[in-house]
């Protein structure tokens, strides 16, 4: 374990409108919930994981993770989930200086995600490191300093900020790119048809 362990924040607080509501992360791929795939890939990279979700916590009890809900009202988006996660880490893992956020509907996140984000942030002396693939950034997949939580709360509650990239534009950001072929490691299950696509991608998973 490093001197300053990184914690993981899994964001499952969305409304899943394109899936017809419900929890995208509980949809199954290869007989296992998407969230289980995310945990399997992220857990070895982090000191602790925390799940951000709203509503009845009982539906996630089987995963055995601490759960924290948004404390910013009206479904303020992923920034609210990141904020909740940062405060949880600050209160529960005193040695952690950074936390990585990932979406709960991205079952193929890289197994070197934390390592590469940390390395880029250090090399470029940046505040935040964000993942990218195929020329596209993925603002939800990022490494955050725990100390940023106070400024993030101010942006959410006093300024009404809701866009991750607008918030991160205030800071020095390192962008870390992964190849999109043969499969995009940041593929996310947004619609019903994406479940079948993810199933097909699992067939070739050994090539990754």
Could you give all domains of the chain from N- to C-terminal order, each with its CATH number? 6-207 (3.90.550.10)
Query: Do 128 and 34 form a contact (C-beta atoms < 8 A)?
Result: no
What are the phi and psi torsion angles at 196 (to 5°)?
Answer: -65, -40
List phi, psi (to 5°) of 70: -60, 140
pLDDT at 186: 95
Q: Please name the helix (run of DSSP H) or strand (run of DSSP E) that holds residue 151, with its range, or none.
A: helix 149-157
d(CA 105, CA 15): 12
Q: Look up tokens 């990279």; give the residue.
A: 45
Q: List alpha helices for 93-145, DSSP H.
A: 113-123
Which pLDDT score is estimated for 94? 93
One digit per residue, the tens of pLDDT, for the chain of length 208 reads: 345 799 999 999 865 444 445 688 999 988 899 999 999 999 999 999 999 999 999 999 999 999 999 999 888 899 999 999 999 999 999 999 999 999 999 999 999 999 999 999 999 999 999 999 999 999 999 999 999 999 999 999 999 999 999 999 999 999 999 999 888 999 888 776 776 666 667 766 654 4
Q: Cα 83 to chain center, whole Å?
A: 12
Distance, in Å, from the CA atom of 118 to the CA atom of 161, rounded to the nearest integer, reads 26
Predicted confidence at residue 29, as pLDDT, reads 87
pTM, to two decimals: 0.91
pLDDT on residue 201: 72
């Amino acid at each position: 374990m490093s001197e300053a362990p990184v914690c993981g924040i899994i964001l499952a607080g969305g409304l899943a409108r394109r899936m017809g509501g419900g929890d995208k992360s509980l949809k199954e791929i290869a007989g296992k919930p998407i969230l289980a795939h995310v945990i399997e890939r992220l857990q070895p990279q982090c000191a602790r994981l925390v799940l951000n979700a709203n509503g009845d916590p009982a539906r996630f009890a089987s995963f055995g993770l601490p759960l924290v809900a948004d404390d910013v009202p009206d479904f303020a988006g992923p920034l609210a989930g990141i904020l909740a996660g940062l405060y949880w880490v600050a209160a529960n893992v005193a040695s952690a200086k950074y936390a990585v956020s990932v979406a709960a509907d991205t079952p193929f996140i890289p197994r070197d995600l934390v390592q590469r984000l940390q390395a880029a942030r250090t090399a470029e002396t940046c505040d935040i490191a964000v993942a990218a693939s195929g020329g596209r950034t993925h603002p939800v997949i990022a490494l955050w300093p725990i100390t940023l939580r106070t400024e993030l709360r101010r942006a959410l509650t006093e300024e009404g900020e809701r866009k991750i990239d607008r918030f991160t534009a205030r800071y020095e950001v390192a962008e870390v790119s992964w190849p999109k072929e043969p499969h995009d490691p940041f593929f996310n299950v947004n619609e019903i048809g994406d479940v079948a696509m993810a199933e097909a991608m699992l067939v070739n998973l050994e090539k990754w």
